[in-house]
Structure 1
């Protein structure tokens, strides 16, 4: 597999396991000695106040992703592995432009009950406001992603560990890109 020609985007609503799978996917690439770089997009747009004319901070996020991706590439081509949310074809195009590669979009799903359990495990009592926001918005985002978002594969994570999901994504991606 030639690094730098395509990437993986783990897409899904809150609590489906994107960040956990991202970490395990990095382990799989490292074990296979395949060059990669991990990106959790939440850390590239989380700032306040937002820039004027960019209420979702997507333009700032894109600039930040480009800069870090450029730095990672200094040591050679890598496969970008990204966890975030792609709701529209335009979102996917923006990410592909940032990384300069075609993205293999994997839509991770989870039932409302499993997502809620995972979210409750993520947020301590002191962050109850964040927990409630994610619980209140999980279903609406999941519905939008199911109806509108582009994806190449769909994986239900309810009965799978993040490590197992990463193995499935890795196998599907490498068989696709090595073929």
Structure 2
């Protein structure tokens, strides 16, 4: 399991899609899951732990479906702030060994990306991005840190695949 992490707005989803495309070109059976696709639900429950549990049950079920269909690898996009999150992911994807790649970019670059993509009200995304950047030391969590700079998602994806050893998969 390759886990793409980083603060809000750094490009996890774009790089994940590029990795999926590259793996498809190399005919590597895989699945791409972005946590954002699973956390867009609302209930009357206010218990964040129960909501987190629901997310992980959903991830587990979807991964099993992908696995049954032939996926051998998983690319997962999610902010990972602590090793406990990795433990939950490993529980949701039995047998997986997560390789965490943290995507890093200067705060002003990330905030500009957020402003360009969140037309309605970018304030929550911007505040959360800054908070994550202040609270997380990527080297404490990640196996690899990639500074995205002005590179394209495909260029970053190629580096991520090379760093994780997935670059030579056929």
Q: TM-score if structure 2 supplies the norm length?
A: 0.90
Q: 1:42 aligns with which of 24, 33, 36?
A: 36
SS across alignment from 1:82: strand
**Structure 1: unaligned runs, 5 residues or longer:** 1-6
Whole-Å Cα distance in 1 between the matches of residues 69 and 81 of structure 2?
32
Give the equivalent residue in structure 2 for 1:109: 104
Change (3 A) 1:106 1:167: same
Q: Which range is displaced more, 167-176 or 7-16?
A: 167-176
Whole-Å Cα distance in 2 between the matches of residues 94 and 27 of structure 1?
27
CA deviations 1:82-104 (Å, max 9, x no partner) are: 00111111111101111120110
Note the 1:1-179 alignment, pairs <5 A. Answer: 7-49=1-43, 51=45, 53-55=47-49, 57-100=51-94, 101-124=96-119, 127-128=120-121, 131-146=122-137, 149-174=140-165
Change (3 A) 1:147 1:26: closer
Q: Which range is displaced more, 138-147 or 62-71?
A: 138-147
Say whether the 8 Å CA contact 2:8–2:79 is kept in structure 1: no
**Structure 2: unaligned runs, 5 residues or longer:** none
Aligned pair count reads 168
SS across alignment from 2:31: strand
- State the Cα RMSD in Å: 2.1
Q: TM-score if structure 1 supplies the norm length?
A: 0.86
